[in-house]
C-alpha cells in the first residue's frame, strides 16, 4: 500500500499540522521523528528505494542499528507537510553500525532529515533501551515555555515544580518531571548528548531560549505532553504578568494527596518547601 495511506504516516502528518496550528512552528522551526514498527516497514517495503547515498549521522546510535524512521526534512516547514508530504518528510534507515543513514522514501529533490537528527536519534536510543514502546520524539518552539527560560532559573526542579503548580493535571501527565538544558548550539552532537542524558530520567527536556523536546509511545501521547506543558507555561506567563507573587497555589502535601489518588509517584525532590509560600 502507498506510504501516504499508512495510518502511522497519517498520524505523523496530523501531528505536524496540529503543531503548526498551535503556533509552535514558525518557518522551518521544529522537527518530528517516528521509529517505525517492523510490520509498518514490511507494509511499505515495495515503495522503498536504496538508490540514495549513505550519509554520516554525526553521532553513534548502535542501539538503533537497522531501524527505520519517518522524519521531517531539514529546512522544511511544518505548515507545508500536509500539502506536500513527499518533499517535506521522508523515511530514513540506519545502517548496521548506527553511524550512517540512507533516505529510502520521500524527502524528494535531495532533501535531508531534520537538522536535529542527531538529538532525535540519541533520544530514541535512550528511550528504546528503557522501553521498546517509545517511538516518537517531537521538538517544537513552544512560545510560553521559551519565554519562561528568560525568567526562571534553568533548573529541572524549578521548572517541574512551577509547571506542576499551574494545572492540577500536570503532575499526573508528567510525574517524572521535566529536564532543562542550558543554552547550547543546536543541531550537533553535544546538545544531543546533553538532551539524551536528561531523557534517561524525563519524557521532556527544555532547550533554554529555544524550545522543548518530548518523547512518547505514540503521536497522541507525545503531542498531548507537548500541549500540556506549553499550556501550563502559558498559565504561568499570565500569572507572572499579573503579579510576581502567587496569592495561593497547590502545596506539597496536596501534591502528595493527588499522587496517592491518581496512582503516580512524584519524586520528593520536586516537593521542596518554598520560602515565600
Block residue for cell numbers 519524586:
267
Q: Detail the residues annotated as belonging to a binding site.
A: 139, 141, 210
SS3 103: strand
Look at residue 195 and give the partner it binds from Zn ion, ligand 2HA, none, a contact being a CB closer than 5 to 8 Å depending on partner kind: none
Look at residue 58 and give the partner it binds from Zn ion, ligand 2HA, none, a contact being a CB closer than 5 to 8 Å depending on partner kind: none
Block residue for cell numbers 536528561:
198
H or E stretch covering 14: helix 7-21
Q: How many residues bind Zn ion (CB under 5 A)?
A: 1
* Residue placing its CB nearer to ligand 2HA in the complex, 18 or 186: 186
Catalytic member of 67, 116, 165, 230: 116
* Residue placing its CB nearer to ligand 2HA in the complex, 10 or 27: 27
Tell me which residues in 169-228 interact with Zn ion (CB under 5 A): 211
Instruction: Compute the distance between CA of residue 135 and CA of residue 7 in angstroms, rounded to an integer.
Output: 14
- Strand pairing of 89-94 and 100-106? antiparallel
Q: Closest residue to ligand 2HA, Cβ-based?
A: 186
Rounded to a whole number of angstroms, the minimum distance from the CB of residue 207 to Zn ion is: 7
Rounded to a whole number of angstroms, the minimum distance from the CB of residue 255 to Zn ion is: 31
Look at residue 115 and give the partner it binds from Zn ion, ligand 2HA, none, a contact being a CB closer than 5 to 8 Å depending on partner kind: ligand 2HA
Sheet containing strand 136-140, edge to edge, reads: 55-56, 100-106, 89-94, 68-72, 31-35, 136-140, 211-216, 204-207, 179-181
φ and ψ at 130, to 5 degrees?
A: -75, -45
Rounded to a whole number of angstroms, the minimum distance from the CB of residue 164 to ligand 2HA is: 26
Residue 5 annotated among the catalytic residues of the structure = no
36: how many CB neighbours lie within 10 A of its CB? 20
Rounded to a whole number of angstroms, the minimum distance from the CB of residue 98 to ligand 2HA is: 22
Instruction: Compute the distance between CA of residue 210 and CA of residue 96 in angstroms, rounded to an integer.
Output: 33
Q: Detail the residues annotated as belonging to a binding site for Zn(2+).
A: 139, 141, 210
Block residue for cell numbers 518530528:
32
Which residues contact ligand 2HA (rule: CB under 6 A)? 28-31, 115-116, 139, 186
* Residue placing its CB nearer to ligand 2HA in the complex, 191 or 258: 191
* Residue placing its CB nearer to Zn ion in the complex, 177 or 211: 211
Rounded to a whole number of angstroms, the minimum distance from the CB of residue 28 to Zn ion is: 9
Task: With CA atoms as reference, report the closest residue to 65 among 13, 100, 37.
Answer: 100
Classify residue 94 as left (phi > 0), alpha (psi -120 to 50) or beta.
beta
245: how many CB neighbours lie within 10 A of its CB? 10
* Residue placing its CB nearer to Zn ion in the complex, 8 or 138: 138
Which positions touch Zn ion (CB under 5 A)?
211
Supply the residues annotated as catalytic. Answer: 116
Amino acid at each position: 500500500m502507498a506510504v501516504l495511506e499508512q495510518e502511522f504516516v497519517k498520524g505523523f502528518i496530523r501531528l505536524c499540522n496540529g503543531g503548526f496550528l498551535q503556533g509552535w512552528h514558525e518557518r522551518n522551526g521544529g522537527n518530528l521523528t517516528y521509529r517505525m514498527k517492523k510490520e509498518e516497514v514490511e507494509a511499505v517495503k515495495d515503495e522503498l528505494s536504496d538508490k540514495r547515498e549513505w550519509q554520516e549521522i554525526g553521532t553513534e546510535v548502535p542501539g538503533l542499528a537497522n531501524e527505520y524512521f519517518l522524519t521531517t526534512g531539514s529546512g522544511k516547514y511544518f505548515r507545508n507537510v500536509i500539502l506536500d508530504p513527499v518533499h517535506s518528510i521522508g523515511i530514513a534507515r540506519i545502517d548496521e553500525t548506527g553511524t550512517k543513514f540512507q533516505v529510502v522514501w520521500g524527502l524528494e529533490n535531495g532533501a535531508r532529515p531534520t537538522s536535529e537528527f542527531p538529538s532525535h536519534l540519541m533520544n530514541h536510543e535512550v528511550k528504546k533501551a528503557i522501553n521498546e514502546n517509545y517511538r516518537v520524539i517531537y521538538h517544537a518552539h513552544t512560545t510560553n515555555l521559551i519565554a519562561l527560560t528568560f525568567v526562571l532559573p534553568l533548573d529541572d526542579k524549578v521548572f517541574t515544580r512551577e509547571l506542576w503548580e499551574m494545572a492540577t493535571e500536570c503532575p499526573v501527565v508528567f510525574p517524572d518531571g521535566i529536564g532543562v538544558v542550558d543554552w547550547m548550539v543546536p543541531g550537533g552532537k553535544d546538545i544531543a548528548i546533553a538532551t539524551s542524558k536528561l531523557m534517561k530520567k524525563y519524557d521532556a527536556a527544555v532547550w533554554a531560549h529555544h524550545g522543548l523536546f518530548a518523547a512518547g509511545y505514540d503521536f497522541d501521547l507525545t503531542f498531548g505532553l507537548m500541549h500540556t506543558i506549553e499550556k501550563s507555561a502559558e498559565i504561568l506567563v499570565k500569572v507572572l504578568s499579573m503579579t510576581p507573587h502567587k496569592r495561593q497555589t497547590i502545596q506539597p502535601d496536596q501534591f502528595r494527596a493527588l499522587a496517592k489518588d491518581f496512582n503516580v509517584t512524584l519524586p520528593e525532590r520536586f516537593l521542596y518547601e518554598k520560602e515565600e509560600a
